[in-house]
Amino acid sequence: MLESLTRQTTSGRDLSAEQVAIAVGALTDEGIPAEIKSGFLSALAQKGETPAEIAAFARELRALSVVPPIDPEICHREILDVCGTGGDRLNTFNISTTVAILAAAAGVTVAKHGNRAITSKSGSADVLEALGIRIDLSPQEAAQSLRDRQFAFFFAQKYHPAFKNIAPARKLCADRGQRTIFNFLGPLLNPVQPSAQLLGVPRTSLCEPIARVLQTLGTRRAMVVCGEAPGSGASDGPAFLDELSTLGDSTVAEFYQDRAFSCSVISPKAFGLRGAKLADLAGGDRDTNARILTEILAGRERGPKRDAVLLNAGAALFVAGRSRSVTEGMELAGETIDNGAALAKIEQLRA
């Protein structure tokens, strides 16, 4: 059946929701060879996944994930995730993870979904581990941390067991230089299903379709962002960050519930931020990035790295309803660092 769907996508025809369900069943079936699965994933990517297809895949895979026992009272709160799809390959420090901890310190309940590094030197799991924050919490422990500390890390490997049967096919595609739909799906599969999301993508053309997917999936409030990264030295065209950029303009697609969908371009100058270069945001391995994160949240780093965190934290706090604008969110984020609450949050999570 998967081969039939491969022929369909090769001919340029989109998949129905029912066909996506069949495809997910085949992709997670350990009895189907990885070569057949990779052929399907490659054909789907070459056709170009529609928002409806991405949403259907997300629904099917969510149904296969482990669901943590979140308290009903917590479910009635605004729950935020801050993450990127990865894939920008610019090796900046862990901006999203820094923002996630800062947002929790500012009073937002944050369910951080992530994994180890795939296209960078340090993923969210890697840098949190280097900070001494547990990433291997059981679903019960993560739910308790979310309740008691307003932050928990949901390690993707623990919540998506079906992915073990997809991994060999993804590796075959990666070895051929072929991306797959799973490059988009990671941030859509948070097992807590957060009500608010700041999501970064590595191409401006993805902002609107991924925001439409989040809206279809029932996210209450979201921003999908992609920022210019001049000076990357890329020979195949302009480079982009899967974050709001302090280096150049950022494309933003956002919505509130099932209405008020908008797309815009914003400049860091509108927020009074000084100019910066890509080298100013450079990261390294997990230990280097853990030191950078700590320096920022301790208030000792006052330069371009702090600016990048404040801009993205401002957006995260706005999306989560903690501030009335990105600018107000930036001010709150700065206060949360300067009054010691951000560093105290790291210590609390270590404990």
**What does DSSP say about strands 196-200 and 250-256: parallel, antiparallel, or unpaired?**
unpaired
Output the pLDDT for position 90: 85
Count Cβ atoms within 10 A of the Cβ of residue 282 and give its class: 0-12 exposed, 13-18 middle, 19 or more buried.
middle
Output the pLDDT for position 345: 98
- Whether the Cβ atoms of residue 231 and residue 246 lie closer than 8 Å to each other: no
Task: Select the CATH number that applies to the domain covering 73-156+192-350 from these four: 3.10.270.10, 3.30.1390.10, 3.40.1030.10, 1.20.120.160.
Answer: 3.40.1030.10
Give Cβ neighbours of residue 284 (< 8 Å, ≥ 6 apart): 91, 93, 121, 122
Output the pLDDT for position 107: 97
Output the pLDDT for position 323: 98
In eight-state DSSP terms, residue 132 is T
Task: Convert 181-236 into a string of H (helix), E (strand) and C (coil).
Answer: CHHHHHHHCCCCCCCEEEEECCCHHHHHHHHHHHHHCCCCEEEEEEEECCCCCCCC
Output the pLDDT for position 234: 56
Phi/psi of residue 153, nearest 5 degrees: -100, 125
Phi/psi of residue 22, nearest 5 degrees: -65, -40
How many other C-beta atoms can be found within 10 angstroms of the C-beta atom of residue 121?
Answer: 16
- Give yes or no for residue 122 having a pLDDT over 90: no
- Whether the Cβ atoms of residue 217 and residue 101 lie closer than 8 Å to each other: no
Average pLDDT across the chain, whole number: 93
Q: Report which secondary-structure segment, H or E, holds 81.
A: strand 79-84
Output the pLDDT for position 84: 86
Looking at the chain, the whole-number percentage of residues with pLDDT higher than 70 is 96
Output the pLDDT for position 116: 82
Output the pLDDT for position 119: 54
Domain borders along the chain are 73-156+192-350
Half-sphere exposure of 235 (CA within 13 A, CB side): 0
Task: Convert 327-345 into a string of H (helix), E (strand) and C (coil).
Answer: HHHHHHHHHHHHCCHHHHH
Output the pLDDT for position 235: 54
Calculate helix-pair angle for 2-10, 17-27, nearest 10 degrees.
130
Output the pLDDT for position 173: 92
Output the pLDDT for position 185: 92
Measuring CA to CA, which residue among 233, 251, 277, 285 is closest to residue 91?
285
How many other C-beta atoms can be found within 10 angstroms of the C-beta atom of residue 138?
Answer: 11
Least trusted range by pLDDT, from 41-45, 59-63, 234-238: 234-238
pLDDT digits (tens, 9 = 90+) for 198-230: 999 989 999 999 999 999 999 999 999 999 998
Residue 25: pLDDT band with limits 50, 70, 90: very high
Of 235 and 174, which is predicted with more confidence?
174
Would you give the distance in Å from CA 39 to the centre of its chain?
26
Give Cβ neighbours of residue 316 (< 8 Å, ≥ 6 apart): 80, 82, 99, 100, 103, 108, 198, 329
Residue 238: pLDDT band with limits 50, 70, 90: confident
- Whether the Cβ atoms of residue 114 and residue 98 lie closer than 8 Å to each other: no
pLDDT digits (tens, 9 = 90+) for 321-345: 999 999 999 999 999 999 999 999 9
pLDDT average, residue stretch 262-277: 94
